[in-house]
Amino acid sequence: MRKLILSLATLLLISSCTENIDTSARYVFTEYTVASYLEAHPNSYSQYLELTKQVPVSGRSKSSVYQLLTARGNYTCFALTNEAINAYLQDLVEQGLINEPSWDAFENAHKRDSVIKLVVQNTVIDGGNSESQRYTTALISTFGNGKENAEFPLPNIYDHKLTVRQGNNDSIYLDKECPIDPINCDIPLINGVIHQLHKVIAPKDESCARYFQTILDEKREGYLMFAKALQACGLLDTLSKVRDEVYESLYQEGKIPDMKNYMDKAGYDMSNTPDDPDAHAPEHRKYGFTLFCETDEFWQSQGIDPAAADAVEKLQDWVYNKGLYLAENGYQVNTDYESPKNMLHQWVAYHILPMRIPANKLVYHCNELGYSLSSPHKYTLPVMEWYPVFGGDRLIKIYESSISNGVYLNSFPERDNGVMGTGFETYCAPDKRGVLVQTEHEMAEVTDIVNACIYPIDEPLGYSTTTRDDLSRERIRFDLFALFPEAITNGIRRADSPEGKWMHVYIPQDKDYKYFDNMSILNEETHLIHYNGYRTAWANYCQDEDKAFGKFDIMFTLPPVPKTNTYEVRYKLLATAARGVVQVYFGTDPKHLPVAGIPIDMTKTVQAAFGEGTTWSDFRDSGKEEDEIIEIDQKLRNHGMMKATRHETELNTTTARDKDNCSRYIIVRQTLEAGRPYYIRFKSVLESTTKELYLDYFEYCPKEVYDSPVKPEDIW
């Protein structure tokens, strides 16, 4: 009787969102699996149920999706009604793919099976061992802080991440146009939750190159001008890359190993997954791109007809006349658009990032001071990323603040950055506003293109002398995993999931496969693990951190500096007894990097590194006046150290700057040249195979910031 009462109570809570059937039977929903619930309602789901029995869970499994839905787990099922499937078949008739609305009408079994796989696998998300990954409508509505076109944290079993759009009256649409039934949703079951769908989820899964080629073939207005520019510059072939098939084959053959029982080998931290002892290698190595595009409507407003035969020539003239390029680089204004030295080629390439970034991951709101995941819409400190654009020789800044009203490219506002300031944005001059990324615009393409996200922008984007100079006048901070396009494209960086395979990701050694182009693992004793830190109280820049175990020797390619200048290159440390002692090397020749300073003992706190006879209270900001804080900071700098920043927090109360074991080391202070690649290498000086190399972020800080005669460098 107690069990019956509890079940009824649970169902009353969701009674506004359950199937319209005999309410006296509602309490038995919690005795159903997803599969048995579908079987119990043939009038709604008989066709969908039959299709689930025909589709395997994956290429590596002989089990059907139906069998998966009978098993223990945490599944989110977007169950298709019979009417939805009939309507989809009729759509295929109208598209000319079949001659009658029947699964028997396909010209061959392979084509039919491929379509059925698309239909079924896009409806199921496997939440693994975590009940928090049963996606109710209340949870779905929070994805991406409720922004349009935000992606689900986990992919469905088709390996496609659904996107969310909020409609009127709190309605929810998947992939822009597939509404969740507002009545027949949030149906709780033993192994998951069901939401009813009246439209089939069927992403086109075309490449970015195919998308733009179709625009060209059909002369379709929208991005026609940009498509012509891409074609003229010879960039379409690059945008056709979808997946590294060599890695895919090696992974399928079991030749890309996980790191078994990594806690037994080294490491003292876990990201809230004590049930999973292994660090898992990525399943895929996909390629991706993010494009920021002016629309045809904009070009028409500038007197350029995208459909005209001379549109590309007029576009180049317009860019030249507006000065939206770095003139001192000597780019050529001619018709050799495919040459990287051509001005239009450079301008177009600056619109492309070599990674696929979903709308809710352009910047990361997670543990900046004052921000809380319980109030995800309330932004506090500005957050930003700097990424090298396509070609790797220039940076673009992506920025969002509490008053910016969106994500901007190359925005340079004023901030309350004094020692006693708030860190908030205070004002932005119109000419420093930058370019708005219109992530919620109807022309944002985030679902159908398998290897790219395309966002319209509200102003023309360019890399002018002014933009270059603005970038060169500010401190630039790179989270380690922001250096790796593969980590972003493949959803490794800041994965919003407590599952072990996302919380502890083992990056393959170079001997097995070079997974990151910008990283070299220099011996077989080095093992790198990405600790995702999802909802973990760590005072790291974006909560996550990275560690190399063993007698490590590892090297990274750093992003370019905006302008030739004197910079400090810095490394952030969180010291613990688990760390080792590392010698750092830095320079331009990866085979002969010079030593950068003396070895760093990563076990030492700020107090210990500064010397005996001191306490942390001698250094921390609490209880001190501004002049005293500045003086202490200068003393630390004289020893090649800095306190960490006030930006990131532990439990949203203690900032990294408040913690004795958080610091920044000044690796080098020297002239860095624009356009040259720089490398940083970390090599253990100990014989121990269990000590860790801790990695969080690096900084470039120009001399006019760290040595300003007007104001000290900010603490954020």
- At residue 515, the pLDDT reads 98
- At residue 293, the pLDDT reads 98
**20: pLDDT strictly greater than 50:** no
**578: pLDDT strictly greater than 50:** yes
CB 696 within 8 A of CB 574: yes
**203: pLDDT strictly greater than 60:** yes
Residue 444 confidence class, pLDDT cut points 50, 70, 90? very high
- Of 16-25, 250-259, 556-565, 617-626, least confident by mean pLDDT is 16-25
- At residue 611, the pLDDT reads 73
Q: CATH number of the domain at 262-285+493-706, please?
A: 2.60.120.260
- At residue 609, the pLDDT reads 80
**Tokens in use for 412?**
């340079």
- At residue 273, the pLDDT reads 63
Q: Report which DSSP code applies to 56.
A: B
- At residue 27, the pLDDT reads 42
The whole-angstrom separation of Cα 165 and Cα 441 is 11
The whole-angstrom separation of Cα 28 and Cα 11 is 10
Residues of the chain with CATH 2.30.180.10: 2-197, 205-242+286-472
Residue 180 confidence class, pLDDT cut points 50, 70, 90? very high
- Of 295-304, 649-658, 671-680, least confident by mean pLDDT is 649-658
What residue type is 334 in one-letter code? Answer: N
- At residue 58, the pLDDT reads 86
The whole-angstrom separation of Cα 222 and Cα 519 is 38
- At residue 144, the pLDDT reads 80
Instruction: Determine whether 554 is exposed, middle or buried from the number of CB atoms within 10 Å of its CB (0-12, 13-18, 19+).
Output: buried
Query: H or E stretch including 45?
Result: helix 42-52
CB atoms within 10 A of CB 8: 12
**28: pLDDT strictly greater than 60:** no
Beta-strand runs (E) in 616-674: 641-643, 649-650, 654-655, 662-672
Average pLDDT over residues 528-556: 93
**Tokens in use for 49?**
């149920």
Could you say which of 3.30.470.10, 2.30.180.10, 3.20.20.70, 3.90.1150.10 is the CATH number of the domain covering 2-197?
2.30.180.10
- At residue 102, the pLDDT reads 96
**275: pLDDT strictly greater than 80:** no
Instruction: Determine whether 512 is exposed, middle or buried from the number of CB atoms within 10 Å of its CB (0-12, 13-18, 19+).
Output: middle
646: CB partners within 8 A, 6+ apart: 369, 423, 655, 656, 657, 658, 715, 716
The whole-angstrom separation of Cα 73 and Cα 57 is 14
**543: pLDDT strictly greater than 60:** yes
Q: What is the per-residue pLDDT across 491-528, written as a single tens digit (0 to 9) for each?
A: 999 999 988 889 999 999 999 999 999 999 999 999 99
Higher pLDDT, 266 or 514: 514
CB 335 within 8 A of CB 314: no
58: CB partners within 8 A, 6+ apart: 157
- At residue 2, the pLDDT reads 30
Percent of the chain with pLDDT over 70: 95
Which class does domain 205-242+286-472 fall in? Answer: mainly beta
Query: What sections of 223-329 are H helices per DSSP?
Result: 224-232, 245-252, 262-265, 296-301, 311-322
* Mean model confidence pLDDT for the chain: 92
CB 544 within 8 A of CB 481: yes
**558: pLDDT strictly greater than 50:** yes
Q: Is the dihedral of CA 202, 248, 128, 190 positive or negative?
A: positive
CB atoms within 10 A of CB 241: 16
- At residue 550, the pLDDT reads 87
3-state secondary structure of 291: strand
Percent of the chain with pLDDT over 90: 84
**21: pLDDT strictly greater than 70:** no
**628: pLDDT strictly greater than 90:** yes
Furthest C-alpha separation in the chain: 86
The whole-angstrom separation of Cα 612 and Cα 629 is 20
Residue 374 confidence class, pLDDT cut points 50, 70, 90? confident
Residues of the chain with CATH 2.60.120.260: 262-285+493-706
Predicted TM-score (pTM) of this structure = 0.93
**388: pLDDT strictly greater than 50:** yes
Average pLDDT over residues 64-81: 97
What residue type is 247 in one-letter code? Answer: Y
- At residue 31, the pLDDT reads 86
Residue 329 confidence class, pLDDT cut points 50, 70, 90? confident
Beta-strand runs (E) in 486-640: 504-507, 519-521, 527-531, 545-549, 553-558, 565-574, 581-587, 600-601
**10: pLDDT strictly greater than 60:** no
Q: What is the per-residue pLDDT across 87-117, written as a single tens digit (0 to 9) for each?
A: 999 999 999 999 999 999 999 999 999 999 9
Higher pLDDT, 169 or 134: 134
**593: pLDDT strictly greater than 70:** yes
**606: pLDDT strictly greater than 50:** yes
**279: pLDDT strictly greater than 70:** yes
Average pLDDT over residues 451-468: 97
The whole-angstrom separation of Cα 356 and Cα 88 is 29
Render 593-616 in DSSP notation, one character per residue.
Answer: PPB-SSPEETT--HHHHH-TT--G
- At residue 537, the pLDDT reads 86
